[in-house]
Structure 1
Amino acid sequence: MRACHLFFGLFLAGTLFMTGCVSTDQIQILENRVTSLEMENNRQISKNKEKQKRDEEINRQVSEIVDELKPRVGRNETAIHEKYAETMSLIEGLRLEVQRLKGIIEETNYNVQQAGQQDRQSVEKTLERLDNAITKNFEKLTALEKYMGFEPSAGGPPTQAPPSSEDPSATPATPEQDTTEAELYAAAKKLLDDGDRENARIQFENFINRFPDSGNADNARFWIADSYYMDKWYEKAILEYQKVLEQYPDSNKTAAALLKQGYAFAELGEKANARLILRELIKKSPESNEAKYAAEKLKTLN
Structure 2
Amino acid sequence: MKYAYLVLLAAMTGLAGCATQSSLDVVRSDVDAVKTRLFSVEKDLGGVRDESKQGIGSIEKEYKSDVTAVRKLSADIQASMDSLRTDIQALNGKADDLAIATKKPTDDLTRYREDADKRMLTLEDRVMKLQTAIDELGKKMGDLASLPKKEEVVTPESFYTKGLELFKAGDMPGARDIFTKFLDKYPQHDLAANAQYWIGETFYSEKGYEPAILAYQEVIKQYPTKDKVPAAMLKQAMSFKAIKDAKSARYVLKKLVEGYPKSDEAKKAKELLKEIK
* Shorter-chain TM band: 0.3 to 0.5
Q: Larger helix proportion, structure 1 or 2? A: 2
Name which structure has the greater RCO, CA cutoff 8 Å, separation 6+. Answer: 1
Superposition TM-score, scaled by structure 1 size: 0.42
Superposition TM-score, scaled by structure 2 size: 0.46
